[in-house]
Amino acid sequence: MVMEKVIEVINLTKSFGNNAVLNGISFTVNKGENLVILGKSGTGKSVAIKCIAGLLTQDEGSLKVFGEEVKDLEADALKSLRCRLGFLFQGAALYDSMTVRENLAFPLKRVLKIKDKAEIESRCIEVLRAVGLEDAIGKMPADLSGGMRKRMGLARTLVVKPEIILYDEPTTGLDTITSKEISHLILEMQEKYDATSVIITHDIPCAKITADRMLIMDAGKCIAEGTYEELENNDNDFIRSFFK
């Protein structure tokens, strides 16, 4: 079977002043695949996926999404790329002055230009059901618990059914049971919508549930790649240490 490369990163570098954050990182993500990235704090994981989303531009190297070099895209093309791509930010923020329903309707109207009220409502309900928040539809974000806000941030990312989903620590700060639910939801997105995902996490059970393949990053480089089982049983102590 020929794999379709949806994301292709080659020798990417990125510095902020004299802080060299990405030092020649390379990896690919195939269509329909869940790639999990592990790495210590400050190793450039968030910077790497912000480059993929076109929020940061690399200094050197190539970064192709859907076969197109992101840094060469004109404003309009970048905008249409962003419509196909969902980003769950680390510490996702909600619009505090809008209800849960309005928070979800907003990207449907603005990004997908959907005008039909019944369609907007049914998509809001569908995604809220998926994250287990259907009872919260009329609530304000301030009235949700931390875990509910996190699930709500996920709902807002998923409501536009992106083809690529970038998850930056989707389960951080959640209890074990809710974390597992979110991890299964990530799997469901892959199975139901054939989404391609990059998942940054420190949560090993989440990695085990979601990963088709994993990367370990250290000091702005990719130091290992393999399945969960391969990396868990790697010869290298440092790589094995992530799984303990």
Ligand X SMILES: Nc1ncnc2c1ncn2[C@@H]1O[C@H](COP(=O)(O)OP(=O)(O)OP(=O)(O)O)[C@@H](O)[C@H]1O
> Does residue number 241 form part of the binding site for ligand X (CB under 6 A)?
no
Stretch of residues binding ligand X (CB under 6 A), selected from 13-21, 98-106, 123-131, 178-186: 13-21
Give 67-70 contacts, CB < 8 A, sequence gap 24+. 67/5
CB atoms near residue 217 (< 10 Å):
21
For the record, the structure tokens of 69 come out as: 């070099």
What is the smallest separation between the CB atom of 40 and Mg ion, expressed in angstroms?
A: 10
Is residue 43 a contact residue for ligand X (CB under 6 A)? yes
Fill in the DSSP letter of residue 44: S
Which range in 26-34, 41-49, 105-113, 206-214 contacts ligand X by CB under 6 A?
A: 41-49
CB of 75 to Mg ion, least distance (A): 27
* Nearer to Mg ion (CB atom), residue 89 or residue 193: 89
Q: How far is the CB of 49 from Mg ion (least distance, A)?
A: 8
Nearest Cα to Cα of residue 213 among 237, 231, 201 = 231
Residue placing its CB nearer to Mg ion in the complex, 100 or 198: 198
Query: Closest distance between ligand X and the C-beta of residue 52, in Å?
Result: 12
Q: Provide the strand spans (E) within the chain.
A: 5-16, 19-30, 34-39, 60-65, 68-69, 85-88, 164-168, 196-200, 213-218, 221-226
CA distance 117 to 127: 16
Q: Is 41 in the site for ligand X (CB under 6 A)?
A: yes
Binding positions for ligand X, 45-84, rule CB under 6 A: 45-47
Positions touching ligand X (CB under 6 A) are: 16, 19, 21, 39, 41-47, 90
